Amino acid sequence: MRILMLSLLIFASGALAFEDVDDIYTPTPEVISITPGDGPIWDGPYAQLFSSGPYMNSAGTGSGGADESRMTASETTYGPGCQLANTNRCADDFTVPAGQTWSITSVTLFGYQTNSGINPTINACYLTIYSGDNPTSGVVVYGDYTTNRFASASWTNCYRVSSSEYGTGTARPIMAVIGNVTTTLTAGNYWMGWSMNGTGSSGPWNAPVVNTPPGGVTGNAQQYTGTSLVWAPLLMGGTSLAYGCPFILSGTMTGLERTTWGAIKTIF
């Protein structure tokens, strides 16, 4: 008896709205103190379509064995503001490849409120998708900044820390903030824009995309502020280098890969 085995592998890829040292750009009526609890730690998304880059660059080196998002000694911006209350927004780009269609079901954002503890205080997110090469001239194809699409938030087991806080800093615990999305996008260039709100007195702030080791250019994100009322590139304080904002798109993909697989199956 002759046995034929066929194996196919198909591969498909306010004033100033930044948080520098001492949180000088967000009014803080009083400093809050939230005791860290035993909330769940985020373990990543399912059915990931796209990730704009990592928020963590030092595994297990933080307080209590947590991970860290480390800054260099030259960097002074912990993160850009994305506070809905101040009309502050962040945006970063993504591309749906030729021949593919993405059905997006959720977006994961990464933000924090200073001194919140590891129990999430972020409780709202607002999402807008623009079609085009930048959010200024892009056409809104999904969402707005008035509908709260918040689904959940949980600690990522990671702290955002300056070079003087390596191994000890716990003031900025990065949260994974998941927003519900229901849209289908065909091939093309897009920008994801967002704002967040929370119960803490400082922020929400957005965690930047980071390199390992820290430093250098990490992306081309933009920010819209309630004072400028325009989108502008995000540049790291102290270095003036461009950086990205991490986000993850989850959902399902259809395209050439599935079409090809379906055609192959009809042969047998």
Query: Tell me: the pLDDT tens digits for 64-108?
Result: 999 999 999 999 999 999 999 999 999 999 999 999 999 999 999
Number of structural domains found in the chain: 1
Residue 6 in domain: no
**3-class secondary structure per residue, 38-50:** CCCECCCCCCEEE
Res 166 pLDDT > 80: yes
Residue 70 in domain: yes
User: If pLDDT is split at 50, 70 and 90, which confidence band does 41 have?
Assistant: confident
Name the 3-class secondary structure at 149.
coil
Task: Please give the average per-residue pLDDT across 225-229, as a whole number.
Answer: 96
Residue 208 in domain: yes
Sign of the four-CA dihedral 37, 247, 91, 158? positive
Res 24 pLDDT > 90: no
Task: Please give the average per-residue pLDDT across 206-232, as a whole number.
Answer: 97
Q: What is the pLDDT of residue 268?
A: 46
Q: Cβ distance 142 to 51 under 8 Å? A: no
Residue 159 in domain: yes
Res 261 pLDDT > 60: no
Cα 227 to chain centroid, rounded: 23
Q: Please state, in angstroms and as integers, the Cα–Cα distance from residue 224 to each residue in 1, 46, 78, 175, 234, following that order.
A: 69, 30, 17, 22, 10
Q: What is the pLDDT of residue 37?
A: 44
Sign of the four-CA dihedral 146, 149, 154, 158? negative
Residue 122 in domain: yes
Q: What is the pLDDT of residue 52?
A: 97
Task: Please give the average per-residue pLDDT across 34-44, as a whole number.
Answer: 54
Range of the domain at 181: 18-263
Q: What are the pLDDT digits (tens) for 111-163?
A: 999 999 999 999 999 999 999 999 999 999 999 999 999 999 999 999 999 99
Mean pLDDT (the chain) is: 86
Residue 3 in domain: no
Residue 7 in domain: no
Task: Please give the average per-residue pLDDT across 37-55, as a whole number.
Answer: 78
Is the whole-model pTM more than 0.85? Answer: no
What is the share, in percent, of the chain residues with pLDDT greater than 90? Answer: 77
Q: Give, as one character, the DSSP assignment of residue 209.
A: P
Res 33 pLDDT > 70: no
Residue 216 in domain: yes
Res 202 pLDDT > 80: yes
Higher-confidence position of 88 and 38? 88
Res 21 pLDDT > 50: no
